[in-house]
Structures are given as structure tokens and as C-alpha cells.
């Protein structure tokens, strides 16, 4: 097996993590927490979402958070942007990178944003054009790639078509999402073999959830295919909207444990991430990461 020397971790805790926690974390605590993450050596933090506050009330303070955090020049501060209204808000606070999202499952996309995939494209295209005009990097999230709670398995050819459309719009990098945490290593290998026929590995990131315990095994396979960018959330924040109480996003601390012990460089200080996990745990339910469980056992 081949493993990379360096891996980039994209911290999605403040967005994908908090969006799926039932509690609303106070704005000041978010700011303090993101500042802690900024000092951890990470190169990327997705800080919030500029969707309409009615959709995700937990992230309605996106503007205030973006304005008040201390920006580390070595960190890219990204945010989710669903449409041009969201983009206006994101540009006002000078977000570094704009994240678009789309589901590979028609049903999931409709349930998530009340539009078909085809109806979503022109909106994303418009956001892309304006983002490029504002000189912003663009990231695309394609969700439910490995399975959908409504449609089951998803045809990878659909994923390829969606990625192709996103890259054509000017998206710089696409995060391939296992939104409900069903992916297995053989499937990751199959999907990546197909995707890598069309797209360079540098333009792909993987976004795993640990709902069924397979996230680190899936990371391993993806690294073997040359993927070096992975999304994760401090402490395994986020849970699963389709199985309350189950594990959430792949935990940054669990990912760091594995990568660092394998001799892979991330630039991130594990202790800082553990401190950030301990801090945010004052505001959300029990974090699901293994490192946090060990830490609590030692108290």
C-alpha cells in the first residue's frame, strides 16, 4: 500500500459539525473556539453557512462569527453558500473560499434544498461566476455519493456527471461525501477508480462520516489512491441526522491519531485539537471521538 507523506485536513466542525448538533452554541463561544482551531496549525476551517437562518438556525450568526474571528494568514476560512443572497453575505465579510453543495441523490437533493439537481445547477453556476469575479476559491460538496437514506446506492456515473458540471462552472476542488456514513473500503476503491479516470486526484477531497465505524478504513483506501485531502470535525461533532445518537463526522482527533502515528505530516498539533474538543464539549452533547472517550476515562 502507498501512503502520502503529507495530508491536508479540512476542519468542518464549525459548519457540518454544529449544523447537526441540536444545541445552538453561543456566538462568542464559536468565535473563541474557531480562534483555538486557527492556532492549531490547520490550514483550513469551514466556519459557518450562509444559508437562510430559517434553514439552519444553529448557524444564523455566520456574519458575526466571520467578522469577529481572528484571521490567521496561514488559514483558509471557508463557508457554505447556497445562492447569490448567501454569497453577498459571505463576500461582505470577506470569506476566503466559497463552498457549494449538491446531492448525488435526486431525492436527497429535493428533501435538502427543495430543488431537483437540474434546478440547482443554474443557481450554483451563478454563485460560481460571482465568486470567481470576486477572486474567491470555490469548493464543491457532492453528498450521498456512497449511499442515500432514500435511494440506497448511487450510480457513480451520476457522480461523475455532477463533478464534471461543477468543474466546468469553475469549482476548484470537490469533496466527495459519505453523508450517512455507509461507505465501505471496497466501495471507496471502486468509486475512486471511476472518478480518477476523469479528474485529477489533486482536485478531489474525501468527506467521511464514522456512523458505522468505517471512516478511517475508508481514509486508508483513499490515501492508497493518492487522495491527500480529508474533511473532518473536532471530536467527531455532528452526529447523523438519520440516526440520532450515532457517530458523526470523522473526528479530526481520531484522524490525526492515525495519520501522525503512520508518520504522515498534517501540520496540526493534536493537543490543540483535543483542547478545542474539550472546549466545544461545554456546549454540545457528548462528543463521539475515540480520543475524547479515552481522555474522559483518564479524568
Which of 73, 135, 261, 282: binder of a copy of itself (CB under 8 A)? 261
**Between 135 and 297, whose beta carbon lies closer to a copy of itself?**
297
Cα separation, 36 vs 252, in Å, equals 14
Residues in CB range of 181: below 8 A, 6 or more apart: 208, 209, 210, 211, 212, 214, 215, 240, 246, 247
Which of 58, 187, 232, 252: binder of a copy of itself (CB under 8 A)? 187
User: C-alpha grid cell for residue 274?
Assistant: 483535543
Q: Is 184 in the site for a copy of itself (CB under 8 A)?
A: yes
Piece of 55-63, 125-133, 156-164, 185-193 that binds a copy of itself (CB under 8 A): 185-193
Is 240 in the active site?
A: yes
Residue identified by cell 439552519 is: 56
Helix or strand holding residue 214 (H, E) = none
Which of 219, 222, 234, 280: binder of a copy of itself (CB under 8 A)? 219
Compute the least distance from the CB of residue 217 to a copy of itself, in Å.
4
Q: Give φ, ψ of 78 to 5 degrees.
A: -115, 165
Which of 29, 134, 262, 265: binder of a copy of itself (CB under 8 A)? 262
Q: Is 194 in the site for a copy of itself (CB under 8 A)?
A: no
Cα separation, 93 vs 68, in Å, equals 10
Cα separation, 221 vs 102, in Å, equals 24
Q: Give φ, ψ of 200 to 5 degrees.
A: -70, 145
Interface ranges with a copy of itself (CB under 8 A): 1, 3, 182, 184-187, 189, 210-214, 216-217, 219-221, 224, 240, 243-247, 251, 254, 257-258, 261-263, 289-291, 293-294, 296-298
Amino acid at each position: 500500500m502507498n501512503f502520502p507523506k503529507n495530508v491536508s485536513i479540512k476542519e468542518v466542525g464549525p459548519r457540518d459539525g454544529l449544523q447537526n448538533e441540536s444545541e445552538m452554541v453561543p456566538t462568542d463561544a464559536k468565535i473563541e473556539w474557531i480562534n483555538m482551531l486557527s492556532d492549531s496549525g490547520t490550514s483550513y476551517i469551514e466556519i459557518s453557512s450562509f444559508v437562510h437562518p430559517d434553514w439552519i438556525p444553529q448557524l444564523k450568526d455566520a456574519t458575526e462569527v466571520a467578522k469577529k474571528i481572528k484571521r490567521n494568514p496561514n488559514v483558509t476560512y471557508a463557508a457554505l453558500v447556497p445562492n447569490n443572497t448567501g454569497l453577498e453575505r459571505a463576500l461582505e465579510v470577506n470569506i476566503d473560499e466559497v463552498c457549494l453543495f449538491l446531492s448525488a441523490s435526486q431525492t436527497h437533493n429535493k428533501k435538502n434544498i427543495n430543488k431537483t439537481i437540474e434546478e440547482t445547477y443554474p443557481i450554483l453556476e451563478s454563485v460560481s461566476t460571482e465568486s470567481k469575479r470576486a477572486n474567491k476559491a470555490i469548493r464543491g460538496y457532492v453528498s450521498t455519493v456512497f449511499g442515500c437514506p432514500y435511494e440506497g446506492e448511487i450510480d457513480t456515473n451520476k457522480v461523475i456527471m455532477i463533478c464534471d458540471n461543477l468543474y466546468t462552472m469553475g469549482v476548484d476542488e470537490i469533496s466527495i461525501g459519505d453523508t450517512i456514513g455507509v461507505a465501505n473500503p471496497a466501495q471507496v476503491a471502486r468509486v475512486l477508480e471511476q472518478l480518477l479516470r476523469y479528474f485529477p486526484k489533486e482536485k478531489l477531497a474525501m468527506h467521511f462520516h464514522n456512523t458505522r465505524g468505517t471512516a478511517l478504513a475508508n481514509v486508508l483506501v483513499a490515501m492508497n489512491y493518492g487522495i491527500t485531502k480529508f474533511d473532518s470535525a473536532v471530536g467527531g461533532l455532528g452526529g447523523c441526522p438519520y440516526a440520532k445518537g450515532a457517530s458523526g463526522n470523522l473526528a479530526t482527533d481520531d484522524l490525526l491519531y492515525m495519520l501522525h502515528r503512520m508518520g504522515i505530516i498534517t501540520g496540526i498539533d493534536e493537543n490543540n485539537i483535543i483542547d478545542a474538543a474539550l472546549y466545544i464539549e461545554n456546549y454540545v452533547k457528548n462528543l463521539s471521538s475515540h480520543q475524547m472517550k479515552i481522555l474522559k476515562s483518564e479524568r
